[in-house]
Amino acid sequence: MAEYQKIEYRIGKDGKITEAVINGTGTGCTNTTSEIEKALGEIDERELLPEYYEGDESITTTSTESVTQI
Q: Is the alpha carbon torsion for 13, 14, 16, 22 positive or negative? A: negative
CB distance 15 to 26 below 8 Å = no
- pLDDT tops 60 at residue 32: yes
Helices (H) and strands (E) in the chain, counts: 2, 4
Confidence (pLDDT) at 70: 60
Alpha-carbon gap, residue 69 to 2, rounded angstroms = 35
Percent pLDDT > 70 in the chain is 70
Question: What is the value of pTM for the model shown?
Answer: 0.60
pLDDT, mean over the chain: 76
Alpha-carbon gap, residue 30 to 51, rounded angstroms = 13
The one-letter amino acid at 42: E
